[in-house]
Amino acid sequence: MRSPEAQTDADVLAERQAALVRALVAGSPAPDGFDTEAVAAAARALLHKRAGEVARRFPVLVHTCGDDFTERFIAWAADKPKTSTASDATTFAEYLGIAQQTSSRSRVWFLRRRR
């Protein structure tokens, strides 16, 4: 059985880990004790990876945005945690005003059929 101190330490560690994850994927500030530049660099790398995933699976978005797809996607996604690549693509397309007259299921199909 754990002592109360160990449980408290585990809780503190869990909160620090959660704060680090929020900083990496949801635009929150780096937790105390972490190198803010290193956390910011890692967060940017994860946003670039996320943009690349969307670009590979939904190239019509890249075509629609032109040369500044990555920058536009990163600016949009910086404070939005990822749920799925398809959700990112659909929500980003809505943000861009693509296919607003169709159902969300049709939007995803439209984006996917151009793969």
The tens digit of pLDDT for each residue in 55-75 reads 999 998 899 898 999 999 999
H helix runs in 26-103, sequence order:
36-57, 59-65, 69-77, 85-96
pTM over the 0.85 mark: no
Instruction: Give the per-residue pLDDT at 113.
Output: 41
For residues 77 and 47, is the Cβ–Cβ distance under 8 A? yes
Amino acid in position 14: A
Instruction: Give the per-residue pLDDT at 109.
Output: 47
For residues 43 and 24, is the Cβ–Cβ distance under 8 A? yes
For residues 55 and 49, is the Cβ–Cβ distance under 8 A? no
**Total H helices, total E strands in the chain:** 6, 0
CA–CA separation, 31 and 114 (whole Å): 41
* Backbone phi, psi, residue 82, to 5°: -75, 135
